A and B are shown apart, each in its own frame.
Chain A
Amino acid sequence: MSDDILISVRGLRTAFGRHVVHENLDLDIRRGEIMGLVGGSGTGKTVLLNSILGLKEPDGGDILFNGRRFSQMTALERLKVNSRWGVLFQNGALFTSLTVLENVMAPLREHIDMPPALMEEIAGMKIGLSGLAPDVGDRYPSELSGGMRKRVALARALALDPEILFLDEPTAGLDPIGAAAFDSLILELSQALGLTVLMITHDLDSLHAICDRVAVLADKRVAAVAPIEALLRNPHPWIQEYFHGPRGRAALAGKES
């Protein structure tokens, strides 16, 4: 595998008051890979994501993008980097006052200078790309089901053709069929567009199906990063429990059959 590292987290420390979430956390994300991020509830998966996204200032350590330190970037450079990222938040975080089409157009309108008609066409194309029917565009987020909302959020995350896509529990709350469809959609998009993907998930099937590597958050740091086959042999007790518990075995059996 290439060692072309897109994002690297070095010595990250995050604390809320006296409660330390991350201590000396290191993580490297390679260009073009799909990385899964797992960890027990409360181990700070979303906090790590927020730190990488710049929504939370780290209390120590640094995050590098393409070899450049975030702490040394100006706010403008930071904004530019962020506009090359797509984020799918846990609950979609769609703007409720805008239609689906306007939601997807929002980043285009903000960052790109192009004729409005073309903007609408491109937003419509993204909606199609994320697996929705074109007539969804005129509806409001409150009129959509949970799965459709996730797809709209994905379309919005893809609006600016990001280099890297962050997904926070993309398949949580979806039925197994919808979740599998979403997984294959992400896999297909990442291959077609050459996306780098970091996804937080509890869905063992997703981990098996699409992740190139999986990072495990435990003991306030990344306890292991490896392809899932290697992780299965990792002696760390939490990892053993996670992948070899009843659900883990079921997912593994599903993959093998």
Chain B
Amino acid sequence: MRGKPASSVTAAGVVLRADGAKTIVELHGDWTVETVGRMDATLRDVEESVAPGDIVIDLSDLGLIDTAGAYIIGRVTRRCSEPDGDFHFIGEHPTARRLIEEVRARTTICPAEDEAGYGFGPALARIGAGIEAVLREALDTFAFLGKTIMTGFRTLANPQRLRLTPTIWAMEEVGVNAMPIIAVLSFFIGAVVAYMGANLLQTLGFSVFTVELVGIAVLREFGVLITAIMLAGRSDSAFTAQIGSMKMQQEIDAMRVLGLDPFEALVLPRVIACVLMAPLLTFGAMIAGIFGGMIVAWSAQDISPTLFIARFHQELPWDHFLVGMSKAPVFGLVVAIIGCRQGMMVSGDVESLGRRVTASVVQSIFAVIVLEAMFAMMYLELGI
């Protein structure tokens, strides 16, 4: 309790005085949350060096006191093992005794046990836990994929169950709205590839091979890779955030109770949209990339667009285009599955939403790159 306004804080202090076998602890000034920090060390010394029965607390010069002050005074005469050690006061104070007893009655002061968090053993345990988490994540993602595919088959058998409006909405969101940024990025990638090639090939006198370089790089790899990475960064994070915030608001639970299958209503439209739009976006990215390469070839190497296109037709088989396009729906599927799964994994708090969005983007880009490498090996072995 504050008898006086807080502005009249007087300097707090503690004086120790020996009186026979007893140690008298004189309290001076105001013992409030602002001031008790300075007395902590002194009182701890008393607590450690003097037996609780020999401590007498002199309240006569005590000013204001609040619960923090009451706690630190009460602590002196308490021991963890004997929570109700003897109490000795001298001097009068209007509120101090009551407050100290109130605080004592409601608290325990046993120090918390430290958790083992350092050293070699826990480090190994963390590594093990990390590896287990990675494997579990991978397994769960496959389970999610399976569940989505089953939902897809059920919908195929019963096509009027397909949510057409959400699917079209997702296609617009994932496809149409992403086209400009993907085209611009791909344009620049095509231009960069052409520049790199121009420098190198010109010294050898084969500058016309820039056409093949741009064509193969953009058709086989960059078109689809740019698309997949943009999908991961743009749509996948949006999926996680949308589904995750619905999960936080218990909307998903409400859907389940109302007999709506969240896989059918939320996951399937997004997966269909991604699988269908990824090839279209990839096609757009290829056109933009080749255009970028063509512009650079024209301006830096005097390869006219007519020559560029003629050579493109003549030298590049359709295989490259088909290889690139064949990867697009796979990447779309992977990105959508990871985004939706992470959204479903969000738990009650804001923290987990942030963690899941991050995990979703990281995992989907990781998966895309790994798949890209596997495709490259596969097509190499097939000789395409």
Contact = CB atoms under 8 A, between A and B. Distances in A.
A251 B352 CA distance: 42
Contacts of B110: 134
Q: Which of B71, B72, B350 is most buried by chain A, counting CB atoms within 10 A of its CB? A: B71
Given A124-B107, A125-B107, A142-B347, A160 B33 contact: yes
A108 interface: yes
A121 B67 CA distance: 12
B205 interface: no
A193 B66 contact: yes
Contacts of B108: 128, 134
A134 B110 CA distance: 10
Interface in B342-370: 347-352
A64 interface: no
A128 B33 contact: no
Contact of B102 (A66, A141, A192): A192
Contact of B349 (A141, A158, A193, A194): A141
B105 to A, nearest CB: 9
Nearest to B115: A138
Contacts of B2: 163, 194
B68 A115 contact: no
A193 B98 CA distance: 10
Interface residues of B, number: 34
A128 B347 CA distance: 28
Contacts of B109: 121
A97 to B, nearest CB: 5
A108 B40 CA distance: 15
A134 to B, nearest CB: 6
Nearest to B69: A161
Interface string A240-257: 000000000000000000
Contacts of B66: 161, 193
Q: Which of B67, B72, B95, B109 is most buried by chain A, counting CB atoms within 10 A of its CB? A: B67
B107 A112 contact: no
Contact of A114 (B40, B112, B352): B40
Contacts, number: 80
A126 B34 contact: no
Contacts of B98: 192
Given A142-B348, A193-B66, A194-B1, A125 B40 contact: no
Contacts of B37: 112-115, 118
A140 interface: yes
A61 B110 CA distance: 51
A122 interface: yes
Given A112-B37, A194-B1, A129 B99 contact: no
A129 B67 contact: yes
Interface in B1-35: 1-2, 5-6, 32-34
B313 interface: no
Interface string A136-168: 011011100000000000000010110100000
A136 to B, nearest CB: 12
Nearest to A135: B112
Interface of B: 1-2, 5-6, 32-34, 36-37, 40-41, 66-68, 71-72, 75, 95, 98-99, 102-103, 106-110, 112, 347-352
Please name the 8 residue pairs, one residue from A and one from B, whose CB atoms are nearest each other, closest first. A114-B37, A194-B1, A161-B66, A142-B349, A128-B107, A96-B349, A142-B348, A125-B107
25 contacts: A97-B349, A97-B350, A97-B351, A112-B37, A113-B37, A114-B37, A117-B40, A118-B72, A121-B71, A121-B109, A122-B68, A122-B72, A125-B71, A134-B107, A134-B108, A138-B112, A140-B349, A141-B349, A142-B349, A161-B32, A161-B33, A161-B66, A163-B6, A192-B1, A194-B1
